[in-house]
Amino acid sequence: MITQGRCLQRFTKAAEDVKVLKATPTDDELLEVYALYKQATVGDVNTVKPRFIMFFGDLKKKKDGYDKIINAGAYVG
């Protein structure tokens, strides 16, 4: 059985070894390594998953802001 201290040592060594790999990992491999690192260091995600409606709500706010800028430019110009 591996003790908690030994497990932490192995994790720290693996985290350091990843920084000096001989070959550059693919994007998918980097994403997996990052995901595993974050899971080990931070834990489960505790934020609300964005909903589809929230995405379009944000787009509408941006569009409204751009419309105001364009309208202000037309008024001045």
Same domain, 41 and 68: no
End-to-end CA distance of the chain: 75
Same domain, 42 and 32: yes
| pLDDT score of 43 | 84
Q: Report pLDDT digits (tens) over 29-67.
A: 989 888 888 888 888 877 776 665 555 666 666 666 666
- Token pair 């802001």: residue: 65
* Domain with 23 in it: 1-46
Q: Are 37 and 15 in contact (CB under 8 A)?
A: yes
DSSP 64: H
Same domain, 40 and 53: no
Q: Are 59 and 51 in contact (CB under 8 A)?
A: no
Total count of domains within the chain: 2
| pLDDT score of 7 | 86
Q: Which two tokens stand for residue 46?
A: 């505790």
pTM for the full model?
Answer: 0.49
